[in-house]
Amino acid sequence: MQECFCKSSKTEFMGWFVQLIAPVLTGAKPAEILSFPNDEKHHARLEGIKSCIKLNNKLSFHEFSFCSKCTKLFIYNAKALDETLKDKRNMRFLTEQGYPREYTMDAYIHELVIKMQNGLIPDEIGIFLGYPVKDVMGFIGHASLKLTKVNGWRVYGDPRISDKKYNDFMEAKEAIKKMLVYNSPNNILAVV
């Protein structure tokens, strides 16, 4: 069970959520994906998150059933995701994974969601989540990429690009965490 479901109050839960998606809010990370068990308590939290996301004009989401017991919410920063997916190395990799040769962000998101609705988390989701393509390729077994370390995710090959991404994600979380001291989660979502 994810740690977020242990949060007792709505404010505490929304604070956790805003910190989790901080890199997406700031554009440091293109997307995040959350899972919610299909029950009343979690349905109410899912609806609350969707309402809050609508407060921010940078964020969008796709909700879909993953299995009979789970709903997934793919939350993304449209500008950051578009830039990530348009990267030539990422596009080349994604077309090799069955994504359309003619790029549109909506078509790529649709393809990802279709794959996940079939009950699997495709390895290429790492691209959508902002991980370097070398790490995604290493994860799926590219022979020339050796595991270097684990730092938020499995890092393959030269760690410098991965370390920079990870640090960007952590800096965004820290900045939002500091903002939460003086602002409500909803206020942060509305202004960031």
pLDDT tens for 1-20 read 344 444 456 778 888 889 99
**pLDDT of res. 156:** 96
| C-alpha to C-alpha distance for 74 and 59, rounded to whole angstroms | 10
Cβ-based neighbour number of residue 158 at 10 Å: 12
| Amino acid at residue number 125 | I
Residue 116 CB partners (closer than 8 Å, separation 6+): 64, 66, 72, 122, 125
The band of 102, judged by pLDDT with boundaries at 50, 70 and 90, is very high
**pLDDT of res. 94:** 97
N-term to C-term CA, the chain:
29
pTM: 0.89
CA dihedral (166, 172, 176, 179) positive or negative: positive
pLDDT tens for 106-161 read 999 999 999 998 788 899 999 999 999 999 999 999 888 999 999 999 999 999 99
pLDDT tens for 38-51 read 887 788 888 888 98
**pLDDT of res. 8:** 55
Residues for the chain: how many in total? 192
Tokens of 139: 């994860």
pLDDT tens for 158-190 read 999 999 999 999 999 999 999 888 877 777 777
Lowest mean pLDDT among 30-34, 62-66, 97-101: 62-66
Residue 98 CB partners (closer than 8 Å, separation 6+): 111
**pLDDT of res. 160:** 96
E strands, the chain, in order: 31-37, 59-67, 70-77, 147-150, 154-156
Q: Show me where the domains of the chain are located.
A: 10-16+23-191
CA torsion, points 4, 63, 172, 177, in degrees to nearest 10? -40
